[in-house]
Structure 1
Amino acid sequence: MTTRDTLSETPAGETAEPALFATMSTMRAMRRLKPDPVPDALLDRLIQAAVWGPSGGNMQRYEYVVVTDPAVMADLAPLWKRCVDAYLATTGKYAPAGMDEAAYGRMVAAIEYQRDHFAETPALIIPCYRFPEPRIEEEGVRLYAEALGAEATARMAKIQERFNALAEGSCVYPGVQNLLLAARGLGLAANITIWHLMLEEEWKAALGIPEDMNTFAAIPVGWPRGRFGPVSRRPVDEVVHRNRW
């Protein structure tokens, strides 16, 4: 049955479920990868999907480091191991409150598998972003404070570093999600991690990333050893607050 046939059978006043919904609902974090290479053409399609993502002010100051050389991956493997071990020793030591212990154990086992086989990872993508130096003029500062008010301006001064980090992240992570969705749609396994930030200077040195360029994720990509399937998430009625909290 073609897509046209499916749409023609949709009752009046209803719309067919977009194929993207099936992609999203089965996009597990797949950490067990086959060592088989991923063609450059497919990796370019992932980056194209990322580039289609929104960018604050349409500045498009992102860059993507794509690692496929086994020798480079072998050099990165010890850094990956140090970061994963640090995570598992602290933040990842215990299952979060409310999470099934058995499910958490399976996730940790997958993380350990990925750690132990990292040198065999076919591809690794590092999204980067360099925020431009802002042009700040005295009159602009006056109008900014006038618009917010004295109290809010003082509060903003305290969280400016967090605001800047979120501003950069908002220019990168929509593209990363596009990349992950594209990988799922192409049958590739991928998962987003930020553990490399524990040793970001070492990662940047190993990959020749400029000092003033921030990195936002390390995304292993390859053909999955397992099968995609439905994700387990909290139901919508538990997380929605309509009109106010």
Structure 2
Amino acid sequence: MIDLTGAESDPRLFDIMSTMRAMRRIKPDPVPEGLVERLVEAATWGPSGGNMQRFEYVVVTDRDVMARLAPLWKRCVDAYLATTGALAPEGMDTAAYGRMVAAIEYQRDHFADTPVLVIPCYQFPAPRVTEEGYLASAQALGPVATQRMMDTQERFMALAEGSCVYPGVQNLLLAARGLGLAANITIWHLMLEEEWKQALGIPEDMRTFAAIPVGWPMGNFGPVRRRPVSEVVHRDRW
């Protein structure tokens, strides 16, 4: 535990962050619309590249729509559990992993009862760079780095858009925890993204970045279990 004695910090915020488990077992009880709007408002407070604010949020609360999404969710979860999720990560206690899988399966089997589902979307506009701008950029980077940048442009753009979305998603998760709501971030829907977009009327050229179920928790929050800071920090260089 890090000593925060004398630090100007909000202990409530740190308590929220340290007890914000991925809560997959949620009640079917509805979430008041005012709270849903507060979650999205918190998400919009996240940083946005160039302050473009190109984010959009699809919020599903209609039970008929949720029921139509449930089969898609099941297919994605089953695909995950058959591949990446088939075995516990190296070093993770198998019993703990079994409990997590059980929670994933519970959420899968009760997805139609999910009170709220939030789909964050984002897309950069077409670039507005002149030929002179490209030449100046190439001169600043140098020929080798310019070629490397061109070769990794797809990854760069994906990370650039993600950096405009995921801080807002974290805000939403923190806000949910602060309001006593359970939530967890998933990207499994990307395995069937086109089907999800069709089901929700999301434009083909719009990218989706997560599917976040939200509701009142059945269990208790935190504490989270994470590696200690001493194991993850590299001071001044790797």
Task: Pick the TM interval, shorter chain.
Answer: over 0.9
CA 1:75–1:16 in structure 2 vs 1: closer, same or farther (change >3 Å)?
closer
What residue identity is the alignment partner of 1:46?
Answer: L
Which secondary structure does the structure 1 equivalent of 2:59 belong to?
strand
CA 1:135–1:71 in structure 2 vs 1: closer, same or farther (change >3 Å)?
same
User: Which of 23, 43, 49 is the matching residue for 1:56?
Assistant: 49
Match of 2:172 in 1: 179
Q: Provide structure 2 residue ranges, at least 5 long, that are not aligned to the other structure.
A: none
Match of 2:86 in 1: 93
Match of 1:3 in 2: none
Separation of aligned partners in 1, 2:119 and 2:10: 33
What TM-score does the superposition give when structure 2 sets the normalisation length? 0.96
What residue identity is the alignment partner of 2:175?
Answer: A
- Counterparts of 1:199-214 in structure 2 under 5 Å? 199-214=192-207
Which secondary structure does the structure 1 equivalent of 2:150 belong to?
helix
Bigger radius of gyration among the two? 1
What TM-score does the superposition give when structure 1 sets the normalisation length? 0.94
What is the deviation of 1:16?
Answer: 5.3
Separation of aligned partners in 1, 2:10 and 2:40: 26
Match of 2:21 in 1: 28
What is the deviation of 1:18?
Answer: 2.9
- Counterparts of 1:38-49 in structure 2 under 5 Å? 38-49=31-42
Q: Deviations over 1:96-144 (max 9, x none)?
A: 1111111111100000000000000001000001210001211111111
Which secondary structure does the structure 2 equivalent of 1:103 belong to?
helix
Which secondary structure does the structure 2 equivalent of 1:217 belong to?
coil
Aligned length: 235
Match of 1:68 in 2: 61
Match of 1:77 in 2: 70
Match of 2:236 in 1: 243
What residue identity is the alignment partner of 2:54?
Answer: R
> How many percent of aligned residue pairs carry the same amino acid?
78
Match of 2:144 in 1: 151
Q: Provide structure 1 residue ranges, at least 5 long, that are not aligned to the other structure.
A: 1-9
Match of 1:163 in 2: 156
What is the deviation of 1:189?
Answer: 0.1
CA RMSD, Structure 1 to Structure 2 (Å): 1.2
